[in-house]
Amino acid sequence: MGTNQPFVIYPARRVITINPAFPFGEAVAVAGNRILGVGTTDELASWGEHRIDDCFANHVIMPGFIEAHCHVMSGGLWNSTYVGYFDRRDPQGLLWPGCTSIDDVLERLAKAAADMSDDSQTLLAWGLDPIYFPGERLVARHLDTVTGDRPTLILHASGHLATINSALMERCGIDETATSPGVARGGDGLPNGELHEPAGMMLAGEAFADMMKANRSEQARWRYANEARNAGHTLLTDLGTTQLWDPEQLGNWKKVTSGPAYPARVMVAMSNLFGATADPAELAELCVKLKSEQTDKLRFGIVKLILDGSIQGFTARISWPHYYKPPPGHIGNGMWLTAPDQMADLVEPYHRAGLTVHCHCNGDEATEAFVEAVEQVLERYPRWDHRHTVQHCQLTTPDQYRRMAALGMCANIFSNHIYYWGDQHRDVTVGPERAARMDACGTALASGVSFSIHSDSPITPLGHLHTAWCAVNRVTASGQVLGPDERIGVPDALRAITIEAARQIKMDAEIGSIEAGKLADFAVLEDNPLTVDPMALRDIGVWGTVLGGVLQPAQISDA
Amino acid sequence: MNAHTIAVTVVGGYLGAGKTTLVNHVLRSTDERIAVIVNDFGEISIDEDLIVAADSDKLTLANGCICCTLADGFAAALMQIRSAGTLPQRLLIEASGVADPAQIAAYGHTPGLRLDAVVVMADAEQVRRQANDRWVADTVRMQLAAADLLVVNKIDLLDDADKADELCDWLAGLSTGATIVRASRAAVPIDVLLGPRSASDAVDTHERPAPERAAAPGWHVVADLFESQTVVLDAPVPKPVIEALLADLPDGVARLKGLVQAAPAAGASDTTATEAADATAYLIEAVGKRTSMTPYATDPTQPPPRWAISLISHKGSLAPDWLESRLHERN
């Protein structure tokens, strides 16, 4: 036999392999950190000396879920109090019910303030999304009623705004003499506590800086992976939030992933954002070097670029007829974060270094610019199997999908948007027709483009069962189906969250399906996603994961 | 807020318009201590002969200027600048080629800073094409509209003066009242870029000797396109007169800067000691459509500053005594 070590057989209610050549099994055998085989218990026992562990006898085993687009700050933000609109589970497994009214937000803050012992400590919160409170705007004077003299800052879900209370305004010298356009004013002409964009938010001084600094810590990295484990994920892609040339941030990644206890693999993308250098050739070289030093749990080799903003922020680049009902004063289209005619030169060094380029493209104009850049680079330097990926890919058109297929490009589609902002996209941002065909998994599938789906956590909560549910049902928060013709079947959604995600980060030889020789990374589920009502997909319980053969039970504390 | 703040100049404009050339030009041509903030070092190339020390996140220049990046955000860059020793007199922020300079200008309202001007560079040969490009037309037009000072760079690449005139007229239509300056190799007269020297002498209490510096070869400073005039004020000026001056500047004015004592109300032209005591000191500035009156805190332990207003105008556009008479006709 190929193994001389004793191995463990895990009989299960069902093993869903995501390997079309051997789709199901009754049990899976694990030798060390790898899969020895899948099949019946008897077949697996015939390999030799083994132990049978019945702990998953009533569970369904799938390949561990792979998130190809999220950010490490989803660990760091839990240092602050969650006040978002939707229910969200923290990395300790505690459920934070959504704050669905301004009063809910205030009540949450009042409790958080009461729990703080040091009176001078700043109360930090996150996740506020005023788009769900269309009537009254939450401002400083509301906060003051529950926070008193304690400085308080709420970072909005968009990351582009913050709301602070009067105590923090006073501490930071924000008063009627403020001249910054980043300081919003109420009907009375006085600053109302809302700070816009980095230029405004930085006026909150250390309170804002502290929130950002938390993302660099070891603790943030642990929480990031704990949350992943609780949702059945075994690999997270930190897509462009780590400054890899910073020894502290890289060192913290190395440190946390070095032991068997850390419950996830992490693919850390190289990024030119916030760069100490923008020379892509240098960053490509660093990425290649890191790749040569990578471990089982800490991976490198992909690069994040960014072209445009967000649709709900009206900053994504959308081709004519642009936005449907933009706010008054909007300039008509979104903004470029990278000059489109610079893209080919930017992609080229990474492409030549053998790396995979993942580019943020929310609007179709951004997709167009990226696809065109990849075309140009391929003409200059032909290369097969590059797997350059359009990230978010929200408004990508059918013709663009056809070109992507021809070029060997992949898509990572932001399916969670359908649920969280689908109603707003239909009614406000892009209008009914384009909302119905956004996040077009159906078109991607029909065009032969390899695609995954993602949460962009912390933008929306991490959890591939929910993300798959979005792609399968396309149901919005208000309960309406948005674009039924772009729905995909559960089997395709399950591929998207496993093997296809592995493929676009070039790890599909190691993970993404349950096959002999691959790493023993499993999502252990309480029910079978292929047999439950598709509308119940997101409600399936998650026991936890197995990561490289190590059992990682989820932490769920329903107090 | 008072005028003892760091002036902020934002340099914007599309890729290739000459932003970096302009930054290098400023670093060579001024005696001010300048801190340059760029998106990242990859986008800027400070002329090597200006650099005396380089680490990963900061360049130190021969004339005491420094250059840092937005790697960790503006707040971090500002902290780095403040901790680097003597405070700079000016921050020069180079925006990325696709940024909206107006958004970058918002940083100029950070406490301790004072937005001086948004300078937008336009490539004389390319700007029309860019302003009609399928993808960046709106970006380029937004940048042009954000300018207080619109520099039509590489003007020497145009065939003739008529084309230059026509281009400038067309740009004027896209701008919102910017002062339009023509230049080659970004060589805009430094007083036009940063404000008249005679007035800044008065404002700057941390004067230092100008370092010896060779002009970069081949730079053609088009200083003969402008002229300046200065009025020294020996008495407070009624505040409405100053307000009227700023509110109604003729098109020919490229820059105005002054340190004035504003008397509470217009009235008798004879100035009494009481009136001087009641007067409030202001730093007044104008560039393009942007005008400001910033309260100025005088230091009682120091000799009083020099009260004066200077302006720079396009040659031949104003009578040499325009400012003098303007101040008197309303007085």
Closest CA to A34 of A524, A498, A516: A516
Instruction: Give the residue carrying structure tokens 């990242």.
Output: B40
| pLDDT score at B78 | 87
Give the alpha-carbon dihedral of B35, B39, B42, B44, to 10 degrees: -40
Please, are residues A468 and A523 in contact by the beta-carbon 8 Å criterion? no
The string of DSSP codes covering A351-385 is HHTT-EEEEEE-SHHHHHHHHHHHHHHHHHS--S-
Q: What is the DSSP letter of B85?
A: S
Q: Which residues of A touch B43 (CB under 8 A)?
A: 278
Query: Do the Cβ atoms of B106 and A177 come within 8 Å?
Result: no
Indicate the residue of B1, B56, B71 with minimum beta-carbon distance to A274. B71
Q: What is the DSSP letter of A336?
A: B
Is B221 a residue whose pLDDT tops 50? no
Rounded to the nearest angstrom, the minimum Cα separation between A55 and chain B is: 47
Mean pLDDT in residue range B15-39:
89
Rounded to the nearest angstrom, the minimum Cα separation between B287 and chain A is: 18
Provide the mean pLDDT of chain B.
Answer: 82
- Strand A265-268's sheet: what is its strand order? A65-70, A233-238, A265-268, A298-299
Mean pLDDT in residue range B40-69:
72
| pLDDT score at B277 | 60
Q: Specify the 3-state DSSP secondary structure of A516.
A: coil
Higher pLDDT among residues A198 and B106, named by residue? B106
Answer whether residue B203 is part of any domain. no
Mean pLDDT in residue range A530-558:
95
Instruction: Give the residue carrying structure tokens 């918002």.
Output: B106
| pLDDT score at B176 | 87
One-letter identity of residue A242: T
Is B197 a residue whose pLDDT tops 80? no
Single residue among B151, B175, B194 that ends a domain in this structure:
B194
Same structural domain for residues B264 and B142? no
Assess whether the previous peptide bond of A321 is cis (omega < 30° from 0): yes
| pLDDT score at A166 | 96
Q: How far apart are CA A408 and CA B203, in angstroms?
A: 62
Answer whether residue B158 is part of any domain. yes
Give the alpha-carbon dihedral of B160, B162, B164, B170, to 10 degrees: -150
Contacts of A80 (CB under 8 A, 6+ apart): A124, A125, A126, A155, A211, A214
Q: Which residues of A touch B76 (CB under 8 A)?
A: 209
For A372-375, the CB contacts below 8 A with 24+ separation are A372/A340, A372/A343, A372/A344, A373/A340, A373/A343, A373/A344, A373/A346, A373/A347, A374/A347, A374/A407, A374/A409, A375/A403, A375/A407
Same structural domain for residues B181 and B316? no
Is A79 a residue whose pLDDT tops 50? yes
Residue B330's pLDDT band, with cuts at 50, 70 and 90, is: low
Provide the mean pLDDT of chain A.
Answer: 94
The interaxial angle of helices B161-174 and B137-145, nearest 10 deg, is: 90
pLDDT in tens, A403-438: 999 999 999 999 999 999 999 999 999 999 999 999
Q: What residue spans of A77-192 are helical by DSSP H? A: 102-114, 140-147, 166-171
Q: Which residues of A touch B139 (CB under 8 A)?
A: 335-336
| pLDDT score at B315 | 86
Indicate the residue of A200, A275, A341 with minimum beta-carbon distance to B71. A275
Answer whether residue B34 is part of any domain. yes
Is B213 a residue whose pLDDT tops 70? no
pTM score, whole prediction:
0.89
Q: Residue A532 corresponds to which tokens in the numbers above?
A: 């439950």
Q: How far apart are CA B19 and CA B43, in angstroms?
A: 10
Structural domains in chain A? 99-213 (3.10.310.70), 217-503 (3.20.20.140)
Cα A52 to Cα A13, A32, A55, B228, distances in angstroms: 14, 14, 9, 92
Query: Do the Cβ atoms of A339 and B39 come within 8 Å?
Result: no
Same structural domain for residues B185 and B294? no
Residue B40's pLDDT band, with cuts at 50, 70 and 90, is: low
Q: Residue B80 corresponds to which tokens in the numbers above?
A: 């780095």
Query: How do beta strands B280-287 and B253-263 pair?
Result: antiparallel
**CB contact, 8 Å: B268 with chain A?**
no
Query: Do the Cβ atoms of A336 and B139 come within 8 Å?
Result: yes
| pLDDT score at B67 | 81
Least confident of A271-275, B53-57, B90-94, B135-139: A271-275
Residue A209's pLDDT band, with cuts at 50, 70 and 90, is: confident
| pLDDT score at B76 | 82
Contacts of B282 (CB under 8 A, 6+ apart): B3, B242, B259, B260, B261, B262, B293, B294, B295, B296
Contacts of A517 (CB under 8 A, 6+ apart): A34, A35
Same structural domain for residues B146 and B105? yes
Residue B205's pLDDT band, with cuts at 50, 70 and 90, is: very low
Around A107, how many Cα atoms within 13 Å sit in the side-chain half-sphere? 9
Is A388 a residue whose pLDDT tops 50? yes
Query: How do beta strands A270-271 and A356-361 pair?
Result: unpaired
| pLDDT score at B279 | 83
The interaxial angle of helices A364-380 and A398-407, nearest 10 deg, is: 20
Is B3 a residue whose pLDDT tops 70? no
Answer whether residue B297 is part of any domain. yes
Which CATH number fits the domain that encloses residue B107? 3.40.50.300
| pLDDT score at B42 | 55
Is B308 a residue whose pLDDT tops 70? yes
Answer whether residue B208 is part of any domain. no
Q: How far apart are CA B207 and CA B201, in angstroms?
A: 8
| pLDDT score at B216 | 37
Residues of A with CB under 8 A from a CB of B: 173, 177-183, 197-200, 202-203, 205, 208-209, 212, 243, 245, 272, 274-279, 317, 331-333, 335-342, 365, 369
Q: Which residues of A touch B133 (CB under 8 A)?
A: 341
Contacts of B82 (CB under 8 A, 6+ apart): none
Higher pLDDT among residues B175 and B221, named by residue? B175
Answer whether residue B27 is part of any domain. yes
Query: Do the Cβ atoms of B41 and A182 come within 8 Å?
Result: no
Answer whether residue B14 is part of any domain. yes
Please tell me the total count of domains within chain B. Answer: 2
Q: Which residues of A touch B107 (CB under 8 A)?
A: 199, 202
| pLDDT score at A289 | 97
Report the residue of A171, A179, A185, A330 to disrupt the B interface, i.e. the one with the largest count of B CBs within 10 Å: A179
Residue A4's pLDDT band, with cuts at 50, 70 and 90, is: low
| pLDDT score at B87 | 87
Same structural domain for residues B162 and B246? no
Contacts of A429 (CB under 8 A, 6+ apart): A311, A312, A314, A323, A324, A325, A326, A421, A435
Indicate the residue of B42, B136, B138 with minimum beta-carbon distance to A275. B42
Mean pLDDT in residue range B242-269:
84
Mean pLDDT in residue range B3-20:
89
Rounded to the nearest angstrom, the minimum Cα separation between A297 and chain B is: 27
Is B211 a residue whose pLDDT tops 60? no
Q: Which residues of B touch A178 (CB under 8 A)?
A: 109
| pLDDT score at B207 | 37
| pLDDT score at A534 | 98
Residue B302's pLDDT band, with cuts at 50, 70 and 90, is: confident
Rounded to the nearest angstrom, the minimum Cα separation between B279 and chain A is: 21
Closest CA to A193 of A159, A158, A168: A168
One-letter identity of residue B283: L
Least confident of A54-68, A297-311, B66-80, B169-183: B66-80
Residue of B nearest to A182 (CA): B106
Rounded to the nearest angstrom, the minimum Cα separation between B110 and chain A is: 7
Please, are residues A122 and A152 in contact by the beta-carbon 8 Å criterion? yes
Please, are residues A254 and A298 in contact by the beta-carbon 8 Å criterion? yes
C-alpha angle A107-A110-A111 in degrees, rounded to nearest 5:
90
Which CATH number fits the domain that encloses residue B289? 3.30.1220.10
Say what the ipTM of the complex is.
Answer: 0.84
Residue of A nearest to B75 (CA): A202
Is A1 a residue whose pLDDT tops 70? no
| pLDDT score at B79 | 85
Same structural domain for residues B149 and B246? no
Is A195 a residue whose pLDDT tops 90? yes
| pLDDT score at A120 | 84
**CB contact, 8 Å: B109 with chain A?**
yes
Mean pLDDT in residue range A99-109:
96
Least confident of A15-19, A543-547, B162-166: B162-166
| pLDDT score at A263 | 97
Same structural domain for residues B61 and B98? yes
Report the residue of A215, A245, A274 to disrupt the B interface, i.e. the one with the largest count of B CBs within 10 Å: A274
pLDDT in tens, A433-480: 999 999 999 999 999 999 999 999 999 999 999 999 999 999 999 999
Query: Do the Cβ atoms of B106 and A181 come within 8 Å?
Result: yes
Q: Which residues of A touch B40 (CB under 8 A)?
A: 272, 275-278
Contacts of B157 (CB under 8 A, 6+ apart): B124, B125
How much of chain B exceeds pLDDT 90, in percent?
Answer: 44
Q: How far apart are CA A423 and CA A483, in angstroms?
A: 12
Same structural domain for residues B158 and B233? no
| pLDDT score at B289 | 83
Please, are residues A271 and A304 in contact by the beta-carbon 8 Å criterion? yes
> Can you give the residue range of the structural domain that contains B310?
221-329
Report the residue of B14, B40, B134 to disrupt the A interface, i.e. the one with the largest count of A CBs within 10 Å: B40
| pLDDT score at B275 | 52
Please, are residues A265 and A271 in contact by the beta-carbon 8 Å criterion? no
Q: Which residues of B touch A248 (CB under 8 A)?
A: none
Least confident of A460-474, B6-20, B59-73: B59-73
Is A254 a residue whose pLDDT tops 50? yes
One-letter identity of residue A494: L
| Torsion sign across C-alpha atoms B182, B187, B188, B189 | negative
Mean pLDDT in residue range B265-290:
70
Q: Residue A286 corresponds to which tokens in the numbers above?
A: 């660093």
Q: Residue B133 corresponds to which tokens in the numbers above?
A: 């490009």
pLDDT in tens, A485-509: 999 999 999 999 999 999 999 999 9
Q: How far apart are CA A323 and CA A403, in angstroms?
A: 25
Q: How far apart are CA A469 and CA A235, in angstroms?
A: 19
Q: How far apart are CA B8 and CA B18, in angstroms?
A: 19
Same structural domain for residues B186 and B230? no
Q: What is the DSSP letter of A555?
A: -
| pLDDT score at A559 | 55
Least confident of A69-73, A77-81, B66-70: B66-70
User: How many pairs of residues across A and B have Cβ atoms under 8 Å apart?
Assistant: 94
Same structural domain for residues B102 and B168? yes
**CB contact, 8 Å: B107 with chain A?**
yes
Q: Which residues of B touch A339 (CB under 8 A)?
A: 14-15, 97-98, 136
Same structural domain for residues B165 and B40? yes
Q: Among residues 201-260 of chain B, which lie with CB inside 8 Å of chain A? A: none
Is A201 a residue whose pLDDT tops 80? yes
Report chain B's terminal Cα–Cα distance, integer Å.
28
Cα B90 to Cα A172, A317, B104, B193, B194, distances in angstroms: 23, 34, 15, 12, 9
| pLDDT score at B182 | 93
Assess whether the previous peptide bond of B236 is cis (omega < 30° from 0): no
Phi, psi (rounded to 5 degrees) for A357: -100, 125
Q: How far apart are CA A123 and CA A114, in angstroms?
A: 10
Report the residue of A180, A246, A248, A272 to disrupt the B interface, i.e. the one with the largest count of B CBs within 10 Å: A180
Same structural domain for residues B243 and B153? no
Please, are residues B222 and B183 in contact by the beta-carbon 8 Å criterion? yes
Q: Residue B231 corresponds to which tokens in the numbers above?
A: 């009025």
| pLDDT score at B294 | 87
Q: Residue A401 corresponds to which tokens in the numbers above?
A: 């999908």
Rounded to the nearest angstrom, the minimum Cα separation between A310 and chain B is: 16
Answer whether residue B65 is part of any domain. yes
How much of chain A exceeds pLDDT 70, in percent?
Answer: 98
The interaxial angle of helices A140-147 and A102-114, nearest 10 deg, is: 40
Query: Do the Cβ atoms of B109 and A243 come within 8 Å?
Result: no
C-alpha angle A545-A551-A553 in degrees, rounded to nearest 5:
60
Q: Residue B134 corresponds to which tokens in the numbers above?
A: 């399928």
